[in-house]
Amino acid sequence: AVRAWTADAHRHPSPNAGPVEAAFAGALGVRLGGTLAYAGRVEHRPVLNGAAGRDIRSADIERAVRLSRRVSALALGVCVAGRLAAGHLAARRSVAGRKRGRA
């Protein structure tokens, strides 16, 4: 995933979607991109994870959903941990400030 992300993310036309699509292509071991059809028009996009990836199969959809859920759970966990740490730090600073005020 990291190898595909660093090699291919900049090739995607979207600076937001590129890193995510490249990392997913690498994590799943598939190729994404190429000639695609969107809203009735054909687009030619760079291939992400080209030589290392294989063509997509229907079973990859379920794998992608599982990966997406895991990434979402991890992101939620990081956000909750960060919020708890920030709250703990703010509480410690508040107690320290009150102690200085009494001295």
Residue range 3-20, pLDDT digits in tens: 888 888 888 888 888 899
Total number of domains constituting the chain: 2
Whether residues 33 and 47 share a domain: the answer is yes
Contacts of residue 47, Cβ cutoff 8 Å, sequence gap at least 6: 31, 32, 33, 34
Give me the domain span that covers residue 64.
58-103
Q: Which of 38, 56, 74 is the last residue of a domain?
A: 56
- 38 plus 88 within the same structural domain: no
Q: Mark whether 48 and 74 lie in a shared domain.
A: no
Q: What is the pTM of this model?
A: 0.72
Contact 32, 17 (CB under 8 A): no
Secondary structure E strands in the chain: 32-38, 41-48
Each residue's pLDDT tens digit, 50-97: 778 899 999 999 999 999 999 999 999 999 999 999 999 988 888 777
pLDDT for the residue 103: 55
Q: Are residues 1 and 43 in the same domain?
A: yes
